[in-house]
Amino acid sequence: MAQMETRGGDGRWSPKGATALVTGGTRGIGHAIVEELAKHGAVVYTCSRNQKQLDECLEKWKSKGLKVTGSVCDVLSRMEREKLMENVTGYFDGKLNILVNNAGTNVLKEATKFTAED
Ligand SMILES: NC(=O)c1ccc[n+]([C@@H]2O[C@H](COP(=O)([O-])OP(=O)(O)OC[C@H]3O[C@@H](n4cnc5c(N)ncnc54)[C@H](OP(=O)(O)O)[C@@H]3O)[C@@H](O)[C@H]2O)c1
């Protein structure tokens, strides 16, 4: 992760100007995180599996003046994750400040039993 200026004018931590990747940003918690970060001035990249829903979200954020872009990615696929990281690296010129690994599921087992596929 790249270093960034984390203080706003009031001296408090701020994501203004930060670059952020939020996976699963078209609905639910991820959607709220994308909007909140962008409203606080971060530049956000997001992804989901549904192109139509992603496009609708990107259009809505653009109309609100928020800096959000994204692409389709199924994070279950290693190939698609690698493509996502290529896209994000190119878009942010290799500088990512914030990663919100939101798209996921609950697999309950001992931490040492998880595999790369999990
Ligand atoms: N809601 C809760 O109470 C709760 C509690 C504990 C933990 N969590 C965790 O918090 C995260 C978000 O939950 P949520 O309730 O906000 O979920 P949600 O409303 O179902 O939204 C999930 C988001 O992630 C995307 N997504 C799902 N699977 C994906 C995949 N394989 N690749 C890329 N994008 C994917 C969805 O879009 P597409 O379907 O179009 O891909 C959508 O944008 C999850 O990891 C969940 O396990 C949630």
Is 96 within the bounds of a domain? Answer: yes
Alpha helices in 1-118 (DSSP H): 28-39, 51-63, 78-91
CA distance 25 to 2: 22
Under 8 Å between Cβ of 22 and 75:
no
Please work out whether the CB of residue 81 comes within 6 Å of at least one atom of ligand 1: no
Percent of the chain with pLDDT over 90: 81
Is 35 within the bounds of a domain? Answer: yes
Say which CATH number the domain at 44 has: 3.40.50.720
Mutate to test the pocket of ligand 1, among 102, 105, 107, 108 (most ligand atoms within 8 A of CB): 102
Is 13 within the bounds of a domain? Answer: no
pLDDT for res 109: 94
Under 8 Å between Cβ of 49 and 72:
yes
pLDDT band at 118 (very low <50, low <70, confident <90, very high): confident
pLDDT band at 68 (very low <50, low <70, confident <90, very high): very high
Q: How many domains would you assign to the chain? A: 1
DSSP letter at 19 equals E
Is 37 within the bounds of a domain? Answer: yes
| Residue-range definition of the domain harbouring residue 34 | 19-104
Please work out whether the CB of residue 32 comes within 6 Å of at least one atom of ligand 1: no
